Amino acid sequence: MRNHLLLLLLLLCTCVRAQESEAYRELAAIADIEQKIMVPMRDGKRLATDVYRPKDVAKAPIIFVRTPYQFNGWVDGEEQERLYQNAYEAVKRGYAYVVQNERGRYYSEGEWDILGVPLTDGYDAIEWMSTQPWSNGNVGLYGCSSTAEWQMAVASLGHPALKAMVPMGYGAGVGRVGEFMEQGNWYRGGAHQMLFTSWLYHVQHDPAAPRLAEGLPREDILRLQRYYDMSPEYPEISSMEMLSTLPVDSVIAGNHGPKGIYEGMIKRKPNDPAWYEGGLYHDDMPFDVPTFWFTSWYDVSISPNLALFNHVHANAESEESRENQYVWIAPTLHCAYTRATENTIVGERSVGDARYDYDALIYGWFDKWLKEEPAAEIIDTLARVTYYTMGSNEWQTTSAWPPPSAEMVSYYLDSDGGANTLYGDGRLVTEAPKKDNADNYLYDPMNPVYSYGGNVCCTGDAVEGGSMDQRRMETRNDVLVYTSEPFAEDTEVSGSIESTLYLSSDAKDTDLTLKLIVVDEDGGAYNLDETIQRVRYREGYDKEVFMEEGNVYKVDLTPLSTSNLFKAGQRLRIEVSSSNFPRFERNLNTGGDNHSEREGVIAHNTIHHSAEYPSVVRVPVVPATPSKR
């Protein structure tokens, strides 16, 4: 048994009392507050739960938020203030707001694993709260990122009290859906996304760390939370330096980080059976909950997020659920919906006034399903898909995604054999070139192309997300640049972008990266989306097929997604390379397991483009309506 006295000595702190804040006082004026209720799960483990419910309301609908993050009411900080503000917004509208820590986090008992497994914990929590005397029996799930990602798999268990969901930035909960096998953002195209390496360094619990003894009476926990926040303080570290560590499986341990689940997860391949035993949602699992999905163009997994929306809309078990799937797509970074301003800057690019009244949308949705009231006008008139088009900087609606009117237009890669760099001769043309003037470049994993902007989160100081002028990256000789002629008229590109490249290499394995870019009238080159494909998985994620020198291989990259108006005079650009680091783990080109290797080999890569090898990007063009001409 852990030494309880040692725990107290290690975690002793002097804390500013968040419960003395203005946000707490406002909440306490309208809410009955119960903190650190230890809710039992079916195996006897107890999960720490705070309940905020409206005074003088006999039975309230419930908005449930489950999180791996700290919400100790006696510790000051931005997260705690936001919790009180969110609880206040819910309570003043007549909802009970329930917040619970996942198993093994802070005051919750048991051992933690990502996405709050076992799934039965989510079911048991819904069962407990829906049967409380102050509950009207209706539960809705709400949250962004880690408070959203667990929702889909738990919904698949079908608890009858779960009536509605609002998941936001939920990609890390998507396992396999259609052609995407990201396994919770762990992969893109079979390449490891290093955001989880950085995130787990700061989140996973070291099994040797001190913990409270299980079974403590609630009155002791209430007393202890006033003095012990149970949250480790990590040493300052450069994420860029940390993520550059080789081998990849020692990134955390090699930087004196906590032990935990990372070392096991990094060894998994995209189709490892372990991905199907945890908290991820896969497209063979049932789903039958009305859901309002919130996504954003510069989130880490916009394409699989939209694929999941389409899957559920088509395949939910009941007609009521199928017809009550809606999606909202904002032009922001991960979970940054409410940070939009009158002049929203995402990275270095202005996307205009992207503000919206999200509270009206979210609570209108919950009112319909949890209070069983007639839908407010904002919900009653809601389009199936609401999306923001950058460039024109306007909200638009459509009946499906991609917009049904979108027509795929092919742009073929072409050059005179010198597409290297911004100053080369790479071009995008509308007919496949007849002659194969292939483009060559060297990919050295010890000198990768560094990530600059993009659809990212959680990477600390390693990558700043958003739309950045890529010209500084396009001076590298290992970046191939293909640019179209200027558009003759305003052209909206909205939907999924497909790409096929033809590759030969002297390496057994390598990666192909691709960026979709809008080039403005002044030559600024702003990224819209990006993708990657590990070539060994070009024939599927259930097998590895390595290359042989002298052969040319067809590689279909995972689709991209965007909505952007290319104004007359602007151009479409594609960047092709073999690294985008540290957003994605470097391929060491050896054909080995990559995660345990320290040394890479240089790959001599060739992109072919001809009638025989039509390397192509297919973009969805939405025809202009008369009002837009």
pLDDT tens-digit readout, 204-257: 888 888 889 999 999 999 999 988 888 888 888 899 999 999 999 999 999 999
Stretch (H or E) spanning 494: strand 491-505
Does residue 17 carry a pLDDT above 70?
no
Distance CA(198)–CA(410), nearest Å, equals: 37
* Out of 11-20, 101-110, 207-216, least confident range: 11-20
CA pair distance 178, 284, nearest whole angstrom: 10
Q: Give the DSSP letter of residue 34.
A: E
In this structure, what token pair is assigned to residue 423? 């100053």
Q: What is the pLDDT of residue 357?
A: 97
Q: State which fold the 407-628 domain adopts.
A: Jelly Rolls (2.60.120)
Residue pLDDT, tens place only, 474-510: 999 999 999 999 999 999 999 999 999 999 999 999 9
pLDDT tens profile 536-555: 999 999 999 999 999 999 99
Query: For the segment 55-64, what is each residue's pLDDT rounded down to a tens digit?
Result: 989 999 999 9
Q: Averaged over 392-400, what is the pLDDT?
A: 98
The SS3 of residue 205 is: coil
Q: What is the pLDDT of residue 143?
A: 97
Pair 444, 221: CB distance under 8 Å: no
The pLDDT value given to residue 459: 92
Tokens (6 digits) for 139: 């539960």
Per-residue buried b or exposed e for 522-559, using 16+ beta carbons within 10 Å of the residue's own CB: eebbbbbbbbbbbbbbbeebeebeebeeeeebebebbb
Q: What is the pLDDT of residues 561-588, one digit of tens each?
A: 999 999 999 999 999 999 999 999 999 9
Residue 559: pLDDT band by 50, 70, 90 thresholds? very high
Is the predicted pLDDT of residue 28 greater than 80, yes or no? yes
Nearest to 536 by CA among 497, 588, 574, 480: 588
Query: Could you write out the three-class secondary structure of 44-112?
Result: CCEEEEEEEEECCCCCEEEEEEEECCCCCCCCCCHHHHHHHHHHHHHHHCCCEEEEEECCCCCCCCCCC
Beta-carbon contacts of 82 under 8 Å, excluding residues fewer than 6 positions away, are none
Per the CB < 8 A criterion, the answer to whether 59 and 51 are in contact is no
Q: In the structure, what pLDDT confidence band is assigned to residue 78 with cuts at 50, 70 and 90? A: confident
pLDDT at position 627 over 90: no
Residue type (1 letter), 104:
G
- The residues near 240 (Cβ < 8 Å, ≥ 6 apart) are 460, 461, 462, 582
CB of 617 within 8 A of CB of 486? no
- Reference 504, options 429, 564, 554; nearest CA is 554
pLDDT given for residue 373 in this prediction: 86
- Assign 3-state DSSP to the chain and report helix, strand, coil percentages, each to 5: 20, 30, 45
Q: Which residue has the tokens 């010198």?
A: 418
**DSSP letter, residue 469:** B
- Whether 430 has a pLDDT exceeding 60, the answer reads yes
Place of tokens 């406002």: 26
Q: At residue 72, does pLDDT exceed 90?
A: no
CA-to-CA dists, residue 608 to 238, 406, 534, angstroms: 39, 28, 18
Dist CA 114 CA 130 (whole Å):
25
* Calculated CA dihedral for residues 392, 515, 469, 347, nearest 10 degrees: 70
On whether the CB atoms of residues 349 and 467 are closer than 8 A, the answer is yes
If you search the block for the tokens 């913990």, which residue do you land on? 211
| Mean of pLDDT values over 326-349 | 97
| 78-82, 144-148, 578-582, 618-622: least confidently modelled range | 78-82
Reported as a pLDDT band with limits 50, 70 and 90, residue 19 is low
- 448 burial via Cβ count (<10 Å: 0-12, 13-18, 19+): buried
Residue 177 has what pLDDT?
A: 98
Give, rounded to a whole angstrom, the gap between the first and last alpha carbons of the chain: 73
* 222, burial (CB in 10 Å: exposed 0-12, middle 13-18, buried 19+): middle
Mean pLDDT for 91-96 is 98
Q: Which residues of 342-369 are buried (b: 16+ CB within 10 A; e: fewer)?
A: eebebbebebbebebebeebbbbbbbbb
Long-range contacts of 27-32 (CB under 8 A, 24+ apart): 27/52, 27/84, 27/87, 27/88, 27/91, 30/54, 30/55, 30/88, 30/91, 30/92, 31/55, 31/87, 31/88, 31/91
| Structure token digits, residue 490 | 């305003």
Contacts of 523 (CB under 8 A, 6+ apart): 471
How does DSSP classify residue 192?
A: E
Is the pLDDT score of 7 beyond 70? no
pLDDT value, residue 32: 98
CATH number assigned to the domain with residue range 4-398, chosen from the 4 options 3.40.50.2000, 3.40.50.1820, 3.30.230.70, 3.40.50.970: 3.40.50.1820
Q: What is the pLDDT of residue 599?
A: 97
Looking at residue 79, its pLDDT comes to 77
Q: How far apart are CA 475 and CA 477, in angstroms?
A: 6
Q: Where are the alpha helices (DSSP H) in 394-481?
A: none
Neighbouring residues of 231: CB distance < 8 A, sequence distance ≥ 6: 70, 72, 75, 106
| C-alpha span between 16 and 77 (Å, rounded) | 9
Query: How many whole angstroms separate alpha carbon 444 and alpha carbon 448?
Result: 6
Mean pLDDT to the nearest integer, 140-150? 97
Position 585 scores a pLDDT of 98
For the chain, helix (H) and strand (E) counts, in that order, are: 13, 27
pLDDT on residue 147: 96
Domain ranges of the chain: 4-398, 407-628
Calculate what percentage of the chain has a pLDDT beyond 70.
96
Give the residue from 415, 431, 417 showing the smallest Cα distance to 611: 431
Contact in structure between 187 and 316 (CB atoms under 8 Å): no
**The pLDDT value given to residue 259:** 93
User: Is there a shared CATH topology between the 4-398 domain and the 407-628 domain?
Assistant: no
User: What pLDDT score was predicted for residue 626?
Assistant: 53
pLDDT at 629: 39
Overall average pLDDT of the 379-404 stretch? 98
Question: Mean pLDDT score of the chain, rounded to an integer?
Answer: 94
Residues 6+ apart with CB under 8 A from 109: 38, 45, 46, 47, 103, 214, 215
Alpha-carbon gap, residue 106 to 229, rounded angstroms: 8
